[in-house]
Structure 1
Amino acid sequence: MQRLKKIYLEKIVPSFMEHFNYVNIHQVPKVQKIVINRGLGEMYQNSKILNLSIDELSNISSQKPVVISSTRAISGFKVREGMFIGISVTLRRDKMYAFLDRLVSLALPRIRDFQGLNIKGFDGCGNFSLGLTEQLMFPEISFEQVIHLQGMDITIVTTSKTDKEGRFLLKELGVPFSR
């Protein structure tokens, strides 16, 4: 069993039931999934960078990403219908808890001048989104293999109904928020 899942079941669920006065254990919010997105930007024409980006994201998430293609042509961005414009990974269950544990304990502390995540990343329904500017903060990525620095968007989807519940859940899981 993953470390964060064990912490959730043993410590967070009882504290949630006490703090929010829940009667049933199924009312307690939980992390449903984590979605990692990476847009290719102007490098959509280079298939080598697409393959390297797929390899990096699969090393980070331990799951093969899905390549996203454009649904329509946009001439202002020189995008044609069917071009590969991004990659995405959806993590659930044990892989989700393993990624969240690595993100909180290894990757975020490696960011230079890190002061915590902005609370404004909540969407009103308890889901949290954050953007990372580079992939070098993950220990799975070696500096020598990186050709181009690319960021990624990470969305943590919870079953909570309000931002207060979502913030309490993520703070108990160890996500560092700024003051």
Structure 2
Amino acid sequence: MASLRGLSRPARSLPLSPLSRQTYTAGSIRCASSQAADGSAPVIADLENSTLTTPQLGDAEKREFRPWKRAADRKVALPSGRYQYHPPKYNRGPLHPVQSPASSDPIARDFVPGPFNLPRLKQTYHSTIAPDLMTLAYTHVPPGTPKKEAAPRLRGWDGSSPYHKNRALRGPRGNPVLPLVERDITFNNVPAITEVTIASYVPAAIADPDHLLVARSVLLSLTGTTPEITKTSSNVVQWGIKIGDRAGVKTTIYGNAAYEFLDRCVHLVFPRIKDWKGIRATTGDSSGNLSFGMSPEEVKLFPEVEINYWMYPAKMVPGCRVFIKTSATSDRQARLLLQSFGVPFYGEVRN
């Protein structure tokens, strides 16, 4: 059987020759354990053959080999899932008879191999932090308890004018931005980190583009992704800044990379900052996204920068701003999540 596998595809389609039959019989004799034990099995030198030792096809056999005729004479079609299936190029809705395979399927167009590692912080989150948050935030409601009606967030019209009919409701007084309604933490919406954005504003790059190059190199070493260059959106005459000037870089990391970056911040960078109180508790956008800043001296504490410190000019390493986006619906839940990771907060607490 080994000799049959060694033959080329054209040769496998032809009838077995006497030589191949002889080799196949010899292979079956070798598998007999009783004869191999007593040494009575014949010793055949060409048992372990390869394509180099198999006989080549002659000119007559090559002329008779017609793969198109063999395909036309085939009465049963080959399995479509193995030979004829191609993932659709466009998704035409969930009711279309042809659906794209899952992204985890290697034949999918959007297949990405991995993940190949599990960050320690992410493993701690799934094993300890997520169950603890769900337990701490649990509020027992006895069965049959009537639900409390939430207060209206928008103001209605008093109906004193015929133009009030079918008109959209008004926002609160003072025209504030309405935050998201905080949802209770349950088993299916435990807060988690979704992405981390790191941005660096370098106004000195307008006069000296080398500052922009150093900032891109620093963010590249911190995140492993190529940062994009940002442009200013307003004019500042005192600083000589015009709209459209290249004066910053930013990059966003997701998934395991986001957890690994936060892990380095909590265990390697924050403990080495002298006289550091922590992150202000007033930070946040009322929707579960927190941010904090880091000075150039604090950026130099990252091991990726510290190990290659000679590559960056000392006075050109920029500071950065870190935006942590979570799946929480309030700043209170986001602070609770980051505190469980080991991030300290100080100052006035604002929900």
The TM-score normalised by the length of structure 2 is: 0.47
Cα RMSD, aligned residues only:
2.0
Per-residue Cα deviation, 1:51-97 (whole angstroms, up to 9, x for no partner) = 1111011111221111112356x261433443211100111001101
Q: Distance in 1 between matches of 2:284 and 2:320?
A: 17
The residue aligned with 1:159 is: 327
Distance, in Å, in 2 between the alignment partners of 1:113 and 1:97 is 25
Shift, 1:23, TM fit? 7.7
Q: How many residues are treated as equivalent by the alignment? A: 178
Larger Rg: 2
Q: Distance in 1 between matches of 2:232 and 2:338?
A: 33
Partner in structure 2 of residue 40 of structure 1: 202
- The aligned runs of 1:16-55 (5 Å cut-off) are 16-21=133-138, 24-55=186-217
Q: Which residue of 1 aligns with 2:124?
A: 7
Q: CA shift at 1:149, angstroms?
A: 4.3
Kindly report which structure 2 residues correspond to 1:99-138, keeping only aligned pairs within 5 A, or say none.
Answer: 99-134=261-296, 135-138=299-302
Tell whether 2:258 aligns with 1:141: no
Higher relative contact order (CA 8 A, sep 6+): 1
TM-score normalized by the length of structure 1: 0.89
Please say which of residues 124-133 and 95-104 is displaced more in the overlay. Answer: 124-133
CA distance in 1, matches of 2:233, 2:345: 36
C-alpha separation between the residues in 2 aligned to 1:95 and 1:130?
A: 18
**Aligned residue identity for 1:3:** R
Closer/same/farther in 2, CA of residues 18 and 136 from structure 1, 3 Å limit: same
Separation (CA, whole Å) in 2 of partners of 1:58 and 1:128: 22
CA apart distance, 1:16: 1.7
Percent identical residues? 26
Secondary structure, aligned partner of 2:249? strand
Q: What are structure 2's unaligned runs of at least 5 residues?
A: 1-117, 139-183
Deviation of 1:101 (Å): 0.3
More helix by share: 1
1:1-59 deviations in Å (ceiling 9; x for gaps)? 01111011111111122122268532111111111110012332312111111101111
* Structure (1 or 2) with the greater strand fraction: 1
Q: Is the 8 A contact 2:212 2:247 kept in 1?
A: no
CA distance in 1, matches of 2:342, 2:185: 25
Distance 1:42 1:81 in 2: 15
Structure 1 residue ranges without an equivalent (≥5): none
Runs ≥4 residues deviating over 4 A: none
Question: 2:226 is matched with which residue?
Answer: 64
Q: Is the 8 A contact 1:104 1:176 kept in 2?
A: no
Whether the 8 Å contact between 2:205 and 2:246 is mirrored in structure 1 is: no
- Partner Cα distance (1:23, 1:30) in 2: 11
Structure 1 position 91 matched with structure 2 position 253 = yes
Q: Which range moved further: 23-32 or 107-116?
A: 23-32
Within the alignment, does 1:172 sit opposite 2:323 as a pair?
Answer: no
- Could you tell me how far apart the structure 2 residues matched to 1:161 and 1:23 are? 10
